[in-house]
């Protein structure tokens, strides 16, 4: 497939260059010798509107493991309905943390899932000093990036222990890496370790941990002896989800010396990970993109050592030296970062949305008046060029007519105009085009001949900075299919929300599109309905012809 694509384009590119060079050279020669053969009346440039039809196709699933960012939360709008996105992840630990030693009489103070928000530093602000009432302090001022919400930024979140082991290799083919999809059946076990409403805020830059110790050698009562202030580097904002300490004690502290904690592999088979499960709060919505490279579960604990003081020692800081059986507290933390397999699990609900009927009952023959494009197991637009094939010879009738005209194609532009009646808060800044052949999705030929910037697909704004349309150049494809002796395969095209993994990888040379797409943003495009006028789905062909 790769060789076929490149060889055709290499030959085509060379041929075009030779032809155009020859035409220019000949024209120059004719003019130089003064022979009035070539003039402006011999050739003319025109524009042709090709028959084009489109409908929407529901995308059942996308691969969702091994990504740079993961979605968490709940979002809804009238056009596309709702998406609920959760995260299943394994945990790991550093090499020096095998069989961790909690020390003497240790008690867990708190267990917290910490995940930094994607944020941008906007400068500094002055706020009240929480440690010194009446004084002010200058702190960094952040704005949370990649949070999408239409109202009351919140969603329910629950944390569970995973019941399913996330295999790294395919059990049916141990030499192949296991693939995970958004609709994967991944079970949880036990009761929730945390339940609450998450309201992401840029000011969530600090967390306080009460550290407690035993009051005396009887080990019967405890007291808070200090409060630790927890911050991230540069005071970045983060979410913090406190987990049930009793469950973590039983699963982690009580088993710390067992073989379950001897290696990361043994640990991941024993404690299979966490599920961060999102659901609607009923009063708002918010969907976050998260970089989990710094996500961690921290177990904050304090051990209480029972010691005898020397005559000149005051180990418990009570002002008295030389006591026996005093309690000496030592607080610390064990860190379990998100490591191994991480999978995004998300579901869509189109009930009551505008997209519902267009996805369940698309008109695949005549096309629809609206096309729905959205990533993250959403929907793609399917585009059919040159109309019907009434004589059933596998060549659209319109294309047969065009092949008889011997046009030189100057450009071919596919316009996708945004349906302004279905306005959305967030649009994809780029959509991507692919070719459909034998049920598989391939990189478009245009990509190899002219590159992604020429292929385009970027969102174009109008003079008032409102999202207006997307544009693709299909010059090479149209040039090939309109040739009288063309052997170019006639394909339908798909259009999807752009994901960075859509880019062609020259290292692998694989022209089949990847199965990834976690760009949840969507857009509604005008279809081929004549009522849309100049904003309907359009393929404009710019050509030069020899006048008779």
- Looking at per-residue confidence, does 263 or 174 come out higher? 263
Tally of CB atoms within 10 A around 546? 11
pLDDT of residue 23: 40
Is the C-alpha dihedral spanning 258, 261, 267, 273 positive or negative? positive
Residue 178, pLDDT above cutoff 60? yes
DSSP 8-state class, residue 418: B
Instruction: Look at residue 150 and tell me whether its pLDDT is greater than 90.
Output: no
Judged against a pLDDT cut of 90, whether residue 450 lies above it is answered with: no
pLDDT at position 228 over 60: yes
Confidence of residue 479 (pLDDT cuts 50, 70, 90): very high
Q: What is the pLDDT of residue 174?
A: 86
Strand-pairing partners, residue 45, are 544
Mean predicted confidence (pLDDT) in 435-453:
85
In the prediction, which pLDDT does 457 show?
92
pLDDT, mean of residues 364-389: 95
Q: For the ranges 16-20, 63-67, 171-175, 196-200, which has the lowest average pLDDT?
A: 16-20
Residue 261 has pLDDT above 70, yes or no: yes
Averaged pLDDT of the chain = 89
Mean pLDDT throughout 320-332?
91
* pLDDT at site 25: 40
Of 544 and 152, the structure prediction assigns the larger pLDDT to: 544
Q: What is the pLDDT of residue 29?
A: 42
Average pLDDT estimate for 373-389: 94
Q: What is the mean pLDDT of residues 213-219?
A: 92
Residue 437 has pLDDT above 60, yes or no: yes
- What global pTM score does this model have? 0.88
100, 194, 212, 260 from 107: Cα distances, Å:
14, 19, 8, 20
Q: Which residues contact 117 (CB under 8 A, 6 or more apart)?
A: 142, 144, 145, 147, 200, 202, 204, 236, 237, 238, 239, 288, 290
Sign, CA torsion 418/59/69/201: positive
The percent of residues in the chain predicted with pLDDT above 70, rounded, is 93
- Check whether 319 has a pLDDT greater than 80: yes
d(CA 42, CA 32): 18
């Amino acid at each position: 497939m790769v060789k076929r694509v490149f060889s055709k384009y290499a030959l085509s590119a060379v041929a075009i260059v030779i032809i155009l060079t020859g035409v220019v050279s000949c024209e120059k020669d004719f003019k130089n010798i003064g022979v009035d053969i070539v003039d402006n009346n011999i050739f003319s440039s025109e524009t042709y509107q090709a028959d084009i039809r489109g409908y929407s196709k529901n995308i059942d699933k996308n691969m969702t493991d091994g990504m740079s960012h993961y979605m968490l939360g709940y979002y809804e709008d009238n056009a596309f309905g709702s998406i609920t996105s959760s995260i299943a992840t394994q945990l790991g630990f550093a090499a020096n943390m095998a069989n961790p030693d909690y020390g003497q009489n240790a008690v867990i103070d708190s267990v917290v899932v910490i995940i930094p928000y994607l944020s941008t530093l906007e400068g500094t602000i002055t706020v009240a000093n929480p440690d010194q009432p009446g004084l002010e302090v200058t702190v960094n001022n952040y704005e949370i990036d990649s949070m999408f919400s239409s109202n009351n930024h919140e969603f329910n979140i629950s944390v569970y222990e995973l019941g399913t082991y996330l295999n790294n290799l395919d059990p049916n083919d141990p030499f192949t890496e296991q693939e995970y999809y958004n609709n994967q059946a991944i079970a949880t076990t036990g009761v929730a370790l945390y339940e609450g409403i998450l309201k992401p805020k840029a000011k969530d830059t600090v967390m306080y941990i009460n550290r407690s110790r035993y009051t005396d050698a009887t080990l019967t009562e405890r007291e808070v002896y200090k409060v630790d202030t927890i911050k991230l580097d540069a005071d970045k904002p983060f979410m913090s989800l406190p987990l049930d300490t009793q469950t973590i004690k039983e699963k982690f502290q009580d088993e710390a010396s067992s073989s379950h904690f001897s290696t990361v592999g043994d640990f991941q088979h024993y404690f299979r990970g966490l599920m961060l499960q999102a659901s609607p709060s009923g009063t708002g919505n918010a969907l976050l993109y998260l970089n989990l490279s710094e996500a961690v579960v921290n177990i904050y604990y304090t051990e209480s050592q029972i010691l005898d003081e020397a005559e000149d020692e005051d180990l418990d800081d009570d002002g008295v030296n030389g006591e026996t059986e005093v309690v000496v507290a030592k607080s610390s933390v064990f860190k379990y970062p998100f490591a191994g397999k991480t999978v995004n699990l998300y579901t869509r609900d189109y009930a009551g949305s505008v997209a519902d009927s267009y996805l369940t009952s698309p008109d695949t023959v005549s096309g629809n008046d609206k096309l729905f494009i959205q990533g993250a197991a959403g929907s793609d637009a399917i585009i059919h060029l040159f109309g019907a094939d009434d004589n059933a010879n596998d060549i659209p009738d319109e294309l047969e007519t065009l092949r008889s005209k011997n046009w030189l194609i100057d450009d071919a532009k596919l316009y996708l105009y945004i349906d302004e009646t279905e306005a959305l808060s967030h649009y994809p800044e780029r959509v991507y085009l692919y070719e459909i052949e034998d049920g598989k999705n391939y990189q478009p030929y245009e990509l190899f001949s002219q590159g992604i910037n020429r292929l385009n697909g970027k969102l174009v704004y109008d003079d008032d900075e409102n999202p207006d349309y997307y544009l693709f150049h299909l010059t090479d494809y149209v040039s090939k299919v309109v040739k009288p002796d063309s052997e170019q395969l006639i394909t339908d095209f798909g259009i999807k929300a752009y994901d960075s993994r859509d880019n062609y990888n020259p290292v692998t040379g694989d022209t089949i599109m990847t199965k990834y797409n976690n760009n949840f943003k969507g857009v509604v495009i005008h279809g081929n309905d004549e009522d849309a006028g100049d904003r309907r789905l359009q393929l404009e062909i710019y050509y030069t012809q020899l006048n008779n």
